[in-house]
Amino acid sequence: MAASASCISLVVLVALATVASAQLSPTFYDTSCPRALATIKSGVMAAVSSDPRMGASLLRLHFHDCFVQGCDASVLLSGMEQNALPNNGSLRGFGVIDSIKTQIEAICAQTVSCADILTVAARDSVVALGGPSWTVPLGRRDSIDANEAAANSDLPGPTSSRSDLELAFSNKGLLTVDMVALSGAHTIGQAQCGTFKDRIYNETNIDTTFATSLRANCPRSGGDGSLANLDTTTANTFDNAYYTNLMSQKGLLHSDQVLFNNDTTDNTVRNFASNPAAFSSAFTTAMIKMGNIAPKTGTQGQIRLSCSRVNS
């Protein structure tokens, strides 16, 4: 009976996911705003060119949006989710999105949502840093509220265990392989000392030379805002080096290294480390799935005139 019920619920979930994604279309703006995608791309390319770290910041911004009440640009609203522990003092890229929004409003007034701009910007950021491209389904609308409590509860953190990570991703309809692939976003960007301090001083599954090198800029007390590259091999290139680092016990965050720690995800890490094409394929698949988490479509929400506030 239990097996039958779970099969039925799975069918329902798949059906609901299909309905949600069917409401999004890569050609959504072809007629209403044909220059939208080119405008987003040029804005992202310029931002990443002047600050390579911005690519990782925009990608993270999209992730932190989708994991809290779906991909609805709620994270872009001033205050609220931005004040949540996983976001406060670490989210970046709001100015880039605002600038792109202003440019798009000038050519297509109240047509392109902030949620879609952020989703496309995440893809373009990966491409700008040498990573794979993918077709982004479009047609999301913007939320009229945000949820700080959900940001605190739903976003996995730097000290998460493997099972914590699996649960957080599963709750959003993502598989373990999606979780391992999306973690590969840490092949770019930086993290603050406060997020990995405990690891470099207290954990044993870390390369000793790697730990020692990090301690220089991350003392036992103070220095929590000091930055370190998540991928010390190719910090500003989107590649599969992240997984090679994990196999050498050089994952910066606790939540990185748990993916390769004599556990169930070890083989997936090995596969992505040895097969760049397998990683690229899994990553793009997972990004599309993540971008399809609970989008607002049709008459839901609104098309915000400014990404940082709801329309008056």
Shared-domain flag, residues 174 and 150: no
Please determine, for residue 16, whether its predicted confidence score (pLDDT) is greater than 80.
no
Binding residues for substrate: 156
Q: Out of 53, 62, 64, 197, pick the active-site residue.
A: 64
CATH number of the domain encompassing residue 197: 1.10.420.10
| H or E element that contains 229 | strand 227-229
3-17, 107-121, 152-166, 231-245: least confident range: 3-17
Whether 202 maps to a domain, the answer reads yes
Within 8 A by CB and 6+ apart from 72, the residues are 65, 115, 140, 141, 142, 143, 294, 295, 296, 301
Whether 27 maps to a domain, the answer reads no
Stretch 249-275: mean pLDDT: 98
Residue ending a domain, choose from 133, 154, 175: 154
| pLDDT, the chain, mean | 94
Long-range residue pairs from 91-95, CB within 8 A, at least 24 positions apart, any chain: 91/57, 91/60, 91/61, 91/64, 92/53, 92/54, 92/57, 92/60, 92/61, 93/47, 93/54, 93/57, 93/58, 93/60, 93/61, 93/121, 94/61, 94/307, 94/308
pLDDT score recorded for residue 10: 52
Please determine, for residue 145, whether its predicted confidence score (pLDDT) is greater than 70.
yes
CATH number of the domain encompassing residue 126: 1.10.520.10
Binding residues for Ca(2+): 65, 68, 70, 72, 74, 81, 187, 231, 234, 239
CA distance 51 to 49: 6
17-26, 56-65, 107-116, 296-305: least confident range: 17-26
Q: Is 254 a catalytic residue?
A: no
Whether 190 maps to a domain, the answer reads yes
Please determine, for residue 13, whether its predicted confidence score (pLDDT) is greater than 70.
no
Are the beta carbons of 198 and 254 closer than 8 angstroms? yes
Binding residues for heme b: 186
Q: Residue 76 sits in which domain range?
A: 35-154
Whether 174 maps to a domain, the answer reads yes
Confidence of residue 70 (pLDDT cuts 50, 70, 90): very high
Shared-domain flag, residues 146 and 175: no
257: nearest Cα among 188, 194, 197, 207 = 207
pLDDT score recorded for residue 23: 86
Please determine, for residue 15, whether its predicted confidence score (pLDDT) is greater than 50.
no
Please determine, for residue 251, whether its predicted confidence score (pLDDT) is greater than 70.
yes
Shared-domain flag, residues 276 and 249: yes
The pTM assigned to this predicted structure is 0.92
Please determine, for residue 75, whether its predicted confidence score (pLDDT) is greater than 70.
yes
Please determine, for residue 86, whether its predicted confidence score (pLDDT) is greater than 60.
yes
Shared-domain flag, residues 172 and 150: no
Confidence of residue 272 (pLDDT cuts 50, 70, 90): very high
Whether 13 maps to a domain, the answer reads no
State the total domains in the chain: 2
Q: What is the pLDDT of residues 201-238, one digit of tens each?
A: 999 999 999 999 999 999 999 999 999 999 999 999 99
pLDDT score recorded for residue 77: 98
Q: What percent of the chain has pLDDT over 90?
A: 92
Q: What percent of the chain has pLDDT over 70?
A: 93
Residue ending a domain, choose from 94, 122, 154: 154
